[in-house]
Amino acid sequence: MKQFPRIAVACLAMAAGTCEAAHDLENGIKDIPPDRGLVVFSTSGTKAGFAIGSFLRLIDPESKRVYGSVYYSLDPDKESDFTDELGKMRQIYLRPGEYMFAPDLARMRDWYLPVYKFKVTAGAAIYVGNFWLGKKQYEVRDRSQRDLEIFRTNNPALSAVAFEPLKLEKFCERRELDNFKIIIFKDPTKFD
């Protein structure tokens, strides 16, 4: 019952049109916009349906506030992009700058989980990892070989694009995000 407010806020935000629940892998991307960076990653887990209400949220490191328009379900879908586990490939175009992904987990205490920072460069591509959720475990793993092979197969026009290697910097623990529930309604994915 304690998860009801979190789920209710997410549903209201989606109904208001301020949120995008997921950015699954697109196929046939031709190029990276010159004023945005392409961020590629994956989310996966051990069992579909066990992590309902658990999300990966995009955070502004300066204000430590959540971008209300960008979040990804950590509950693995039964229709997986992978053969070795349940999960999805994800991508997002972001304005240049620093960002963080932070876990917001429904069935696990997430206060001491690490929050990682990454930097987006205009016209460049970066791989930021595989965000994996197990029964009592959350990890950020380097599955770049698998994930980028899938990305390149689905986007042959970008097969020669060099991805910056995985180099996440631990920024803080989730409990240090005082403003975590304060939402920024400016969408870093939208073009001006």
Q: Is residue 190 part of a domain?
A: no
pLDDT at residue 34, rounded to an integer: 92
Is 86 a domain residue?
yes
Q: Tell me, what's the pLDDT at 144?
A: 93
Structural domain tally of the chain? 1
For residue 33, give the DSSP letter.
-
pLDDT-wise least confident of 13-27, 139-153, 158-172: 13-27
Mean pLDDT of 29-34: 88
Question: 102 lies in a domain?
Answer: yes
50: containing domain: 4-184
Task: Please determine, for residue 3, whether its predicted confidence score (pLDDT) is greater than 50.
Answer: no
Query: Could you tell me if residue 71 is inside a domain?
Result: yes
Q: In terms of pLDDT, which residue wins out, 50 or 63?
A: 63
Which CATH number fits the domain that encloses residue 133? 2.60.40.1120
Q: Amino acid identity of 51? A: A
- Give the bridge partners for 174, in sequence order: none
For 190, phi then psi, to 5°, come to -80, 145
**Residue range 38-55: average pLDDT?**
78
Which pLDDT belongs to residue 164? 81
The pLDDT-based confidence of 62 (bands split at 50, 70, 90) is confident
Residue 183 — very low, low, confident or very high, per pLDDT cuts 50/70/90? low
Q: Is pLDDT at 181 greater than 60 in this prediction?
A: no
- Mean pLDDT for the chain overall: 74
* Nearest residue to 151 via CA among 163, 139, 133: 163
Q: What is the mean pLDDT of residues 130-141?
A: 83
Residue 189 domain-assigned (yes or no):
no
For residue 101, pLDDT beyond 80? yes
- Residue 113 has a pLDDT of 77
pLDDT band at residue 188, thresholds of 50, 70 and 90? low
Q: Looking at the domain assignment, is residue 152 inside a domain?
A: yes
pLDDT band at 123 (very low <50, low <70, confident <90, very high): very high
Q: Exposure string (b/e) for 130-143, b if CB count within 10 Å is 16 or more?
A: bbbbeeeebebeeb
Determine, yes or no, domain membership for 191.
no
pLDDT at 57 over 60: yes
Vertex 48 angle, CA 42 and 52, to 5°: 85
- Asked which of 6-20, 23-37, 58-72 is least confident by mean pLDDT, the reply is 6-20
In a domain, 138, yes or no: yes
Q: Is the pLDDT of residue 61 over 70?
A: yes
